[in-house]
Amino acid sequence: MCRNIRTLFNFDPPATEDEVRASALQFVRKLSGFNAPSRANEAAFNLAVQQVSEAATTLIGSLSTFVPPKDRETERSKAAAASAKRFGKPTPLRGLA
Q: Looking at residue 86, what is its pLDDT?
A: 85
In a domain, 91, yes or no: no
In a domain, 26, yes or no: yes
In a domain, 29, yes or no: yes
Task: Give the CA distances from residue 87 to residues 2, 3, 14, 39, 74, in Å, rounded to whole numbers and listed in that order.
Answer: 18, 15, 30, 39, 20
Residue-number span of the structural domain to which 55 is assigned: 16-60
pLDDT of residue 90 exceeding 70, the answer is no
In a domain, 97, yes or no: no
In a domain, 3, yes or no: no
In a domain, 30, yes or no: yes
Number of domains observed in the structure of the chain: 1
In tens, the pLDDT along 13-70 reads 899 999 999 999 999 999 999 999 999 999 999 999 999 999 999 999 999 999 999 9
In a domain, 4, yes or no: no
Task: Give the predicted TM-score (pTM) of the model.
Answer: 0.75
In a domain, 68, yes or no: no
